[in-house]
Structure 1
Amino acid sequence: MNGPMVDTTIPYRPFDSGADGSMTGTARDLNRFFAALASGQLLKPAQLAAMRTTVPVPQDSGHPEGTRDGLGLFFTPLSCGGGYLGHGGSGFGYVIRAATTVDGRRTITVEDPS
């Protein structure tokens, strides 16, 4: 390593462009979280229903057509029918997208180092 040491531990939350909350974890952690959330293991039914109550996302938002926004959850329709719940976030050097089927039986988390 050549060059000066740089402190990369500065808080960047005010500059964060996504909703990741500066969370530290793994893709497996996120998959387990979304599966438990969607399957009703984390919240009371009324609370989960409130999260799933959605409004249309504007078409120029960068989300796929038909995406709806709830309380911390997005619902995105699939061309084959149905849809998925998810949320993503970004920070310095990465973009994360996590998604689950509405019943929580299938999950996926994708990281895109940018």
Structure 2
Amino acid sequence: MRLLKTDEYSSVFNLRCSVGNDFFQVLGRPNGMDGARLGVVVGRRTDRRAVGRNYIKRTVRELFRHEAVQLAGIDLVVRPRRAFGRAEGAAARAALAQLFRRIRGRFPLPGGADV
């Protein structure tokens, strides 16, 4: 359920289908598979400390784990736009969930069914 290779990330970046808000930018691409795959890109510019970057990645992966069934058939790359900590964690999760719903609406479900 993860994007691992550079080619997989590049194909998502090249399609340029994205949605965003204050916290995140989410890029997506149909993958032709039954499941969704996730890639997370958190640069040092987002948060200088590794602890903060790891917290952001854990938060994104956990929300993806809960939403993966609704995102079937899409490769996603999530890029945080700014750092957030535990105090803003709930707002960041809600913002990311909204972006997942928006990106889901841009691609047809595998098998032709709609949610």
| Same fold, judged at TM 0.5 (above) | no
Whose helix proportion is higher, 1 or 2? Answer: 2
Per the shorter chain, which TM-score range? under 0.3
Question: What is the TM-score of this pair, normalised by structure 2?
Answer: 0.24
The structure, 1 or 2, with the larger RCO (C-alpha pairs under 8 Å, 6+ apart) is: 2
Which of the two has higher C-alpha Rg? 1
Bigger share in strand: 1
TM-score by structure 1 length? 0.24
